[in-house]
Structure 1
């Protein structure tokens, strides 16, 4: 059994590796080790995530796709989720999520009779679908609340957007023009790579 751990955070500022210890402890509790790790900072609402696509390319039938929770795997609209789920199923991957106990049988050595296995498999599949739908709904509600908050602030004349840091903008521009890469520029300017990319796109 080959266990592939997928760890995702939404932005560069967040730590995608945060759940590593919990995933390793879970695998060890089932006498398994994580054989491959796929780590990335990308929105779960995007289907074109390089590390997730690499995991699917590497996967073989019977492998375990280990995640902290289903929302680390997907916050996708239903059509995109169905395509992703179909790709996972086509590869013969078994989704195991720490917060979904019915999925834990996928990493366990225990095997019941065929009827019990099929019943547990059907229940787990239903719960995975439900949690994926909840994850998407949560994403949409947070985006809606954010937009409403911005609209209200604008109506009250309180929303100015993010203030421009002229000194930081100048520093990043100088570093980029000097030929430094995105990560090196972020390190020297003491900012996120997202900020560097935004400024780079504005000046090109």
Structure 2
């Protein structure tokens, strides 16, 4: 069993590494240690995430995918979440999240070898239900914030105060520098956390 920690933040302004010490302490309290870290700055609403894909490629059956909160793993819509969950289940990976206490049993070697299949089945069912609930809440929170943002923009436009979203000039410059060094669109997207379409827009000057 290997514990693979997944750390995600939405943009370069958010520090994806912030949760690393909390995850380290959490595993130590359960007499375990993290085998590898997968860190990226990318939206949780995107299914195609380079580091998450690398984690899924690296894992073996019974490995643990560790996150600080379920929303670090998913803010996906229902269709994409089902697809990601199917990929996780096919690999035989167990999700452990610090905000879902029922998932912590996967860190307990005694629990893994428990002889009572009924108790194990009940605990697994409760855990799966809570993870589903937390995933739905994460998506709902994202949609609520987006709607409030839209309403705020509409109000600002109506009052003549909306100036548009400011481009992240430093991050855009990184895209151009990577392109000058000969990196492909895919490599630039992976390095910056942008989608390929965003990279194309930045390079064309239409941001």
Q: TM-score range by the shorter chain?
A: 0.7 to 0.9
Residue 185 of structure 1 corresponds to none
5+ residue gaps, structure 1, are 183-191
Q: Which of 115, 119, 126 pairs up with 2:118?
A: 115
- State the 1:126 CA deviation: 0.4
Larger Cα-atom Rg = 1
Matches within 5 A, 1:1-204: 1-111=1-111, 112=114, 113-162=116-165, 179=180, 200-202=203-205
Distance 1:35-1:163 versus aligned 2 partners, 3 A rule: closer
The CA distance in 1 between the partners of 2:91 and 2:193, in whole Å, is 34
Per-residue CA deviations over 1:50-73 (Å, capped at 9, x if unaligned) read 000111111100000000010000
Structure 1 position 8, deviation (Å) = 0.2
Please identify, of 69-78 and 27-36, the stretch whose mean Cα deviation from structure 2 is larger: 27-36
Q: 2-side partners of 1:23 and 1:133: how far apart? A: 23
Aligned-partner SS, 2:205: helix
- Give the direction of change, closer, same or farther, for the CA distance of 1:159–1:65 in structure 2 (3 Å limit): same
Deviations 1:70-89 (A, max 9, x none): 00000000010001001001
RMSD: 2.8
Listed as ranges, the gaps of 5+ residues in structure 2 are 184-191
Kindly tell me: are residues 181 and 157 of structure 1, through their superposed partners in 2, closer, same or farther at Cα, counting changes over 3 Å?
Answer: farther
Deviation at 1:199, TM superposition (A): 5.2
TM-score (norm 2): 0.82
Distance in 2, Cα, partners of 1:8 & 1:101: 20
**CA apart distance, 1:181:** 8.6
Normalised by the length of structure 1, the TM-score is: 0.83
- Structure 1 residues 203 and 132: CA distance shift in structure 2, 3 A: closer
Deviations 1:78-111 (A, max 9, x none): 0100010010011000000011100000111222
1:151–1:84 Cα change, 3 Å: same
Aligned mates of 1:79, 1:50 — CA distance in 2: 19
3-state SS of 1:86 partner = helix
Q: Report the Cα offset of residue 31 of structure 1.
A: 1.4
The whole-number CA distance in structure 2 between the counterparts of 1:9 and 1:202 is 26
| CA-CA distance at 1:201 after TM superposition | 3.7
